[in-house]
Structure 1
């Protein structure tokens, strides 16, 4: 692996006998680490390739989408932070589209930064706190559960894409 490739991160197994907050946080963090590990070792060429011909999904596009999802659900909708919208106007909930300036290491760094911002938002709130974004009607518990589902679903996509690229399988 070269220095311009994404490096794997250490993950801890999700807590199996903890309180609700710790269980939700540890499961989501395990999945977040798995996203990074699924793309670790890929070159930009591999990460930007359409390795499953019937699909336009790419590993890099999924990482970019998950970074936007973290920002959208926690920072914008839940915490009502005044920060840049994560998706282009012509694709308001997608962000799978890559720009010519994107690189996999930069996309992973952005994802990890959004996850850190999300952790700070979650740490500052109660699971019963309601979203502060305009027109939002959900609590933090729902946001955490939704992000667990969203991240896990896209990890399934990453499993298929990665195996198609280089045969790599596993957690």
Structure 2
């Protein structure tokens, strides 16, 4: 399977640009996992870290769910792999499969897209209890871009360690 990654437009309105950058980073994570077996996806980066590509996919499913469904849309649901706010639980992909992790992640991405699309504007705010303040959809989307960009750097190093593949 080869992931299609569409670069963000050079000129666009703010919402379209933010949406495109978020989708670009989502695609980058999927691309870093292309062509690898479940065993390779579970391979940990380096001791003592338990970080793996599959763990990153699971973690990002939790991040998407927490920010878009739980916080922004107010759904009273647990995280995918944990009933707390402990996103670290998702990093343990030792028994996970590509099918399980990607299914959960893709489901959460689709929910996030629907929630974002139905919001009137990027200025819509909701209360974020952990931070104790209101946050805008703009902040949520920028936070997700930041989270993906940071973890895609990790994914690049992990992938290089697996089979030498490097690049954007």
Is this a same-fold pair by TM over 0.5?
yes
- Label 1:113 to 1:143 Cα distance change in 2 as closer, same or farther (>3 A): same
Mapped to 2, the partners of 1:58 and 1:91 lie a distance apart of 20
Partner of 2:69: 75
Instruction: Choose between structure 1 and 2: higher helix proportion.
Output: 2
Asked if residue 151 in structure 1 is aligned to residue 148 in structure 2, the reply is: yes
- How many Å apart are 1:108 and its aligned residue? 1.5
Mapped to 2, the partners of 1:163 and 1:112 lie a distance apart of 24
Aligned pair partner of 1:59 in 37, 49, 53:
53
Q: Deviations over 1:54-107 (max 9, x none)?
A: 42211110110001100001111111023332342577232212263x201321
- How many Å apart are 1:51 and its aligned residue? 3.4
TM-score (norm 1): 0.88
Mapped to 1, the partners of 2:128 and 2:76 lie a distance apart of 10
Query: Gaps (5+ residues) in structure 1?
Result: 1-6
Query: Gaps (5+ residues) in structure 2?
Result: none
Q: Deviations over 1:116-162 (max 9, x none)?
A: 11010100112011125655520000000000000000000000000
Report if the CA contact (8 A) 2:50-2:92 is conserved.
no
Report if the CA contact (8 A) 1:75-1:118 is conserved.
yes
- Label 1:150 to 1:107 Cα distance change in 2 as closer, same or farther (>3 A): same
- How many residues end up aligned between the 2 structures? 164
Report if the CA contact (8 A) 2:80-2:104 is conserved.
no
Asked if residue 117 in structure 1 is aligned to residue 111 in structure 2, the reply is: yes
Q: Deviations over 1:5-60 (max 9, x none)?
A: xx222121112211110000000001101111100111111111113234221111
RMSD: 1.8
1:114 is paired with a residue whose SS is helix
TM-score (norm 2): 0.89
Mapped to 2, the partners of 1:123 and 1:107 lie a distance apart of 24
Report if the CA contact (8 A) 1:80-1:133 is conserved.
no
Partner of 1:141: 138
Moved more, 124-133 or 10-19: 124-133
